[in-house]
Structure 1
Amino acid sequence: MRHLTLISGADDTHTLDALFINAPLRDYGLRPRTNDYTLPVLGMAYIATYAQRCGFNVGVLDAEAHGLGIEATAKIVNTAAPRWAAMNLLAPTYEMSARIAAKLDPGIALMVGGHHAKAMPDRILADSRMHNLRALVLGEGELRVAALLEDEQRRRGLPAVLWRDPISGTRAGGIADPATSAQMLGPNINTLPYVNRAFLPQDPYQAAPTVTDRRLAASRGADWLTAAALHGHREANIVGSRGCPYNCTFCGAAWSANPDVKIRVRSPENILGELDQLHDEYGVTAFRFVDDLFLGVRDVIYEHMAVFARHRIGEKYVWDATGRINVLDRLSDDDLDVLVANGLREVALGIESGSDRILKAMDKRIDAEMTERVALRLLSHGIGVKGYFILGFPGETREDLDATVQHIRNLWAIADHHPGDIRASVFEFRPYPGTPVWKTLTAAGHKPDDLLAYGDVDLTQDGADESMRQRDEFNFSVGIQFGGVPLEDLRATLAMLTREQHERNQGGREVAA
């Protein structure tokens, strides 16, 4: 029963209507997790929050955050005995999810959703390990999950809900009411309740102080910034929008993989209400926007920054956000000054490669020169940059890989002469079903079973042990050489760059989060 305390947000005095399960990336019962923090499951928490608001007793079991193995996770679910177990299926964790599902008591009904469920529904419906799968929900789940919790038979009238017919064994689906389908599939995100952070065991969290925090404290002189420079901010993750207008070929959020998703942006007033709530309830003073659009559309930036300025947000909070290089390239210096005044601390950029040829194959709509130009302008304004890079993209040659290594070192050199810092986060390419590049790979003869054979990779043999500590959950691979560089060399390069970034961190630059 002690392990039931790992269930977040539920009322343990009443029967659980649903337990939402985030499967671990690997079986931590076999090898313990080494990192201390994982990204919160905001999408799952949104669904749980809405269900709770509708009167259902629900909880979240984040097996990845708690470092649980397959056996421990299944035991907790069976002991809790919810009416429904709900899983968010992702390609890297699908095997873990299926193995957990196979161990669940037959009296627990199973529902699933997520990118993998959307990309490969028939494959999942046919998986015998999902023996009690009663609803596969495609797309955003808040309204339809609540309807299923109210009455399983409602699935017959819900859009984009599938199940396996118990008699024929074939796919069955609801016949939706056209008058309600659009709202069911794409709810108004300004009317959804703010995420109940009780469902997130690691958010908000206490972050370590950074070089940027110390710089901001010195330049602005505010007492709360001085305290953060000494002790770190209380931080929380947040989303400001849903959907993405871009079509990066490797990304599960690419618009061609999600033609049913209507792009929606939360109103700035709605966002500010959540910032203030998190500050009042948890003492949060730093926020991380993890969605694709917050600094990805110029009109959205202008609209939100006008309201941020009116409410003097930069005097109360700092925040980080994802951004698009081509969009930031079109902002003026005055626009960047406005972002800084409104509290912008760091921008996460999908830089991906230093090879213009590979960037074109990725449909990134940028080139290496543009990235260095944007980084220079951001860093000179004191805005930090976290750059994400992919090694081993299909067709990548040794020259392309060398260009990426040089690109990262050029960006580090720029940071060495400006107040902002740049952190490089490097990953091995992984194919995701439903993405444009997945279709290219399967058309070229790669078998889906091979592309889905995810396994974790231990990079400590390349001397990157401590430097890999905060990215244990990202070191996994399907074990296929997609470009011209052998995997052994690719991983040695990844470990080298990660170690060099770690050494920069230890030398006084910002500590990776």
Structure 2
Amino acid sequence: MQQLSLLAGADPTRTLDAVFVNAPLRDYGLRPRTNDYTLPVLGMAYIATYAQQAGFNVGVLDAEAHGMGVDEAAGHVNAARPRWAAMNLLAPTYEMSARIAEHLDPDIALMVGGHHAKAMPDRILADPRMANVRALVLGEGELRVAALLEDEQRRRELPGVMWRDRLLGTLAAGIPSGKPNPQLLGPDINALPYVNRAFLPQDPYQAAPTETDRRLAVSRGTRLLKTAARVGHVEANIVGSRGCPYNCTFCGAAVSANPDLTIRVRSPENIIGELDELHAVHGVTAFRFVDDLFLGVGRVIEEQMAAFTRDRIGERYVWDATGRINVLNRLSDRDLDRLVQNGLREVALGIESGSDRILQAMDKRIDAEMTERVARRLVQHGIGVKGYFILGFPGESLEDIEATVGHIRNLWDIADSNPGDIRASVFEFRPYPGTPIWTTLTDAGHKPDALLAYGDVDLTSDGADESMRQRDEFNFSVGIQFGDVPLATIRSTLATLTREQHQRNQTSKGAVA
């Protein structure tokens, strides 16, 4: 029973049908993690929730959230003795997943899915460490995973399911009799149950007050915001849509990498229902939409905001969302005012670079001037901005990197004279299979084995630098210089910007009344 305590959402009194394993970003048995921040595995929790409602006893082992090593994670799965273990394969954590799979009891059947499984199914099924994979699920898995849990032999009739024939050593795939049900590949997201948060050990969570909360308390002055500036919010992550219509060359969600994916948006009523349920059950007052479309398509913004206004969401909650710069650039001041009134706290933007040449190579459909204009308008309305940036993109020169550094500092200067804050989160470029840039790199002669050699990079100065500790788990690399700038320069620039952002985070810009 002690082993089951880490299996979130499982019923310890029943035999386990499946354990869903989220592999760690690195082997924490070799170098322990330095912070307690982790991203919730919402996709895995959706599948687990659907399986649970179908009557199966399932649990989630979030080895990343618990800071587990490979041996420890495999040991917990073996001790739990489920019929199935299921893994979401991502390129940076594939080695961790494969090493866990290698140490699982051979009586435990294995199913895998995720971006990496979709991009390289043949390679995964040929990996001897994955010899016990009985089903590789391409794309969204809710309905097909439940069908596999009911009867493994159903894989023969399920579209988008692959495995390796143990006797012949050949690949096999499900062949539906008749026309396949499209819901199997892309379920109606309005018909799916709300995520059972019991599967997410760190979501909802109590967040400490942030600079954005303090600024909002001053600029908007509501009771909710003044309270949050003192004690923080209970926060939860949420998905409002699936799919992305854009084709950023480095992104696994690029439309060219997912031609089979139907783009769908949840209805406003369905979303608001989940917000209210999370508030009623867990006391959540702040939400983070982590999908690409919530503020990424004009018609979606219009539809959702009309409903938020009707339900007076802004009087009860605040929320953050990802957004597209080119879409936000087309919004009027009246549109931005409505976002504020409806509770928008912060927008996460894929700014990526301050070099127009690199932005064009990334197919971002923006330029640095547009980014600066949009960011200025957002913070003038009191909306915070979190900008993501990439250093070391293929073909990047020192001049391009200097343009990005200057761009970030310009954005900080803009924030300093406006109600909204701007935060910068900077990463080293790493290639992902299935993306447009992956094809460009392999066509240029880069070997897949080298491009897949992800390793963690310790930028914490032997644990002495607080700013590096806060994002240590996300510092990983394939160790290849793709542009003109040496990796040492890229990493020192990344560390410098991260330290400067950390110093800004420590400085409060406004008193709370």
Fold in common (TM above 0.5): yes
Q: Which residue of 2 aligns with 1:121?
A: 121
* Map of 1:257 onto structure 2: 257
Q: 1:205 to 1:509 in 2, by over 3 A?
A: farther
SS at match of 1:194: coil
| 1:186 alignment partner in structure 2 | 186
8 Å Cα contact 1:464/1:496 also seen in 2:
no
In terms of mean alpha carbon deviation, does 223-232 or 25-34 score higher? 223-232
Deviation at 1:463, TM superposition (A): 9.3
- When residues 234 and 178 of structure 1 are mapped into structure 2, their CA distance, relative to the original with a 3 A threshold, is farther
The aligned runs of 1:393-432 (5 Å cut-off) are 393-432=393-432
SS, match of residue 153 in structure 1: helix
Q: 1:462 touches 1:495 (CA, 8 Å); kept in 2?
A: no
* SS of residue in 2 equivalent to 1:253: coil
Shift of residue 178 of structure 1? 4.9
Contact 1:10 1:59 in 2 (8 A): yes
1:30 is matched with which residue?
A: 30
Looking at structure 2, the residues matched to 5 and 394 of structure 1 have their Cα atoms a distance apart, in angstroms, of 45
- The 8 Å contact of residues 244 and 263 in structure 2, kept in 1 or not, is answered as yes
Q: For residue 465 of structure 1, report the CA deviation from its aligned partner.
A: 2.0
- Matched-pair contact (CA < 8 Å) for 2:4–2:10: no
Deviations 1:90-146 (A, max 9, x none): 000000000000000010000000000000000000000012110000000000000
**Secondary structure in structure 1 of the residue aligned to 2:116:** helix
- The offset of 1:179, in angstroms, is 3.5
Identity of aligned residues (%): 80
Q: After TM superposition, which residue ranges in structure 1, 4 or more long, deviate above 6 angstroms?
A: none
Q: Distance in 1 between matches of 2:372 and 2:348?
A: 14
State the shift of 1:171 in Å.
Answer: 0.6
Residue 338 of structure 1, CA deviation: 0.2
Q: CA deviation at 1:336?
A: 0.1
1:85 counterpart residue number: 85
| In 2, Cα distance between equivalents of 1:181 and 1:171 | 23
- Report how many aligned residue pairs link the two structures: 510
> 1:509: Cα distance to partner?
5.7
Shift of 1:507: 1.7
Distance of 1:287 and 1:239 partners within structure 2: 10
Residue 287 (str. 1) matches residue 297 (str. 2) = no
Is the Cα–Cα contact under 8 Å of residues 19 and 60 in structure 2 kept in the other structure?
yes
Q: How does 1:152-191 map to 2 (within 5 A)?
A: 152-191=152-191
Shift of 1:226: 2.4
Amino acid in structure 2 at the alignment position of 1:453: A
Q: In structure 2, what is the equivalent of residue 327 of structure 1?
A: 327
Question: Which residue is equivalent to 1:132?
Answer: 132
Whole-Å Cα distance in 1 between the matches of residues 385 and 325 of structure 2? 11
How big is the alpha-carbon RMSD for the aligned residues of Structure 1 and Structure 2?
1.3
Partners of 1:462 and 1:492 within 8 A in 2: no
Cα distance in structure 2, aligned partners of 1:471 and 1:120: 28
Query: Match of 1:381, as an amino acid?
Result: H
Residue 358 (structure 1) aligns with? 358
8 Å contact from structure 2 (residues 241, 291) kept in 1: yes
CA distance in 1, matches of 2:414, 2:151: 58
Q: Report the alpha carbon displacement of residue 469 of structure 1 after superposing the two structures with TM.
A: 2.3
Distance 1:412 1:252, change over 3 A: same
Gaps of 5+ in 1: none
CA 1:187 to 1:177, structure 2 compared with 1: closer, same or farther past 3 Å? farther
AA matched with 1:444: A
In structure 1, C-alpha distance between the alignment counterparts of 2:291 and 2:384, rounded to whole Å: 18
2:238 is matched by which residue type in structure 1? I
8 Å CA contact 1:463, 1:495 repeated in 2: no
Give the Cα–Cα distance (whole angstroms) in 1 for the partners of residues 266 and 505 of structure 2: 35
Aligned 8 A contact 1:464 1:495 in 2:
no
SS state at 1:252 partner = coil
- For residues 456-489 of structure 1, the C-alpha deviation after alignment (integer angstroms, 9 at most, x for no partner) is 0011239982102221221000000000000001
TM-score of the aligned structures, taking structure 2 as reference length? 0.98
Matched residue, 2:508: 508
Name the counterpart of 2:386: 386
- Separation in structure 1 between the aligned mates of residue 53 and residue 472 of structure 2, nearest angstrom: 35
Structure 2 equivalent of residue 143 of structure 1? 143
- AA partner of residue 349 (structure 1): L
Q: CA deviation at 1:451?
A: 0.2
How far apart are 1:202 and its partner, in Å? 0.3
- Give the deviation of 1:49 after TM superposition: 0.2
2:250 alignment partner AA: F
Cα drift, residue 168 of structure 1: 1.2
SS at match of 1:129: helix
C-alpha distance in structure 1 between counterparts of 2:395 and 2:75, whole Å? 44
Are 2:82 and 2:108, in contact at CA under 8 Å, matched by a contact in 1? yes
Q: Deviations over 1:215-273 (max 9, x none)?
A: 33344444333221111000000000000000000000000000000000000000000
CA-CA distance at 1:453 after TM superposition: 0.2
